[in-house]
Structure 1
Amino acid sequence: MASVVQTLADLGRRRPLRDVLAGFDAMLRAGRVTKEAIAAAAPKRSWGRPRLCRAIEVADPASESPGESLSRAVMIEHHLPMPALQEPVRNERGGLLGRVDFIWPERGVIGEFDGRVKYGRELAGGPVEEVLLAERRREIDIELATGMRVVRWLWDDAFRERGLLEVLAEAGVRSLH
């Protein structure tokens, strides 16, 4: 049976970034692999080695969900500037308002991937209206504290790419090429 490291190396050589990045991110976050171990699992002169090296280079354990990883893969494939991940945002008194999924400080943009798991976890404690109002309040508080614009996208936007790219372009995050 293949190890996690060997499986990631094999998939990284054969599959597009959007198909493998979530696995790389998750295994790095869980501490199950290292970038060095994945690189060592593939022969130096093997077919697909450049593709694997690119996946290793951009893999990031700070990405906390498959939707965030897919979103990042789309950003990478379309040459968007790379955001910082999971940055804490504080109010004027230093209180933590939360961590944001993506932030482009130089462009004044914060991005949030909205997946069902996030809301499902929060809904366990109350009605949907309360959860949505709390999330909207958080968004307003973050915009006021940072002076940045918060934009959001869904699974479908990331899967189909166009929706994610349009949301980001409208906020000023566009291809570098």
Structure 2
Amino acid sequence: MAPVRAVLESASLLTVEQGLAVVDAGLNRRLYDAERLASQLELMQSWPGCRHLQLVVRMADGRSGSVAESRCRYLFWRWGLPAPQLQYEVTSDGVLIGISDFVWPDLGLIVEFDGKEKYLKHLRPGESPGDAVFREKRREDALRRVTGWRVIRLTWGDLERPERVAGLLRAALAA
């Protein structure tokens, strides 16, 4: 079975939020492209349980780098927030300062998702988790300094309180 079909069949058994994370992951890993995804969905239109896949496929974006980022994007959509730019590169004098998960450039807002894995996975040789957190704090300070934008950090716990996150982001986007 082709990966695109397996992913869509799996997503048909999941919620939109869960299905989006699965479909995004396949796009991110280049198991298929958006065109192949749309073609496979067309073949499955009349299958039971596939109605919500239209929304999943329309929202799918391989730039989501994790399940958490896909869930955040779903939260933004579900609560009527404007769509952010994903994996936004911030540079200064041609030097990359950082790549931010979600950015609303016109509104001066950066949102980063923080999971423990982010810090443990990217440890440098001889670096402690505390060192990695400090390095990330310095990166955030540089992002603020270069852009003048606000930075909001979300965690897994925040995803369990979507109305709180939506309120926080609405206020930040309106400021």
TM-score class normalised by the smaller sequence = 0.7 to 0.9
SS in 2 for 1:100: strand
Secondary structure at the aligned position of 2:10 is classed as: helix
User: Whole-Å Cα distance in 1 between the matches of residues 3 and 165 of structure 2?
Assistant: 30
Check the 8 A contact 1:115/1:154 in 2, yes or no: yes
Q: Which residue of 1 aligns with 2:71?
A: 70
**Structure 2: segments with no counterpart, 5+ residues:** none
Residue in 2 aligned with 1:27?
26
Q: 1:25 to 1:106 in 2, by over 3 A?
A: same
1:3 Cα deviation after fit:
4.0
Q: Secondary structure at the match of 1:145?
A: helix
Separation in structure 2 between the aligned mates of residue 173 and residue 62 of structure 1, nearest angstrom = 26
TM-score (norm: length of structure 1) = 0.85
- Contact 2:113–2:154 at 8 Å: present in 1 too? yes
Whole-Å separation in 2 of the counterparts to 1:23 and 1:172: 28
Question: How many residues end up aligned between the 2 structures?
Answer: 172
* TM-score of the two chains, using structure 2 as the length reference: 0.86
1:142-171 deviation digits (Å, cap 9, x = unpaired): 111111111101011123323432432331
Percent identity (aligned): 31
Question: What RMSD over aligned residues (CA atoms) do the two structures have, in Å?
Answer: 2.2
1:102 is paired with a residue whose SS is strand
In structure 1, stretches of 5+ residues that fail to align are: none
In structure 2, do the counterparts of structure 1 residues 22 and 9 end up closer, same or farther at CA, with 3 Å as the change threshold?
A: same
Task: Provide the residue aligned with 1:9 in structure 2.
Answer: 8
Matching residue of 1:54: 55
Partner of 1:99: 99
Matches within 5 A, 1:143-158: 143-158=144-159
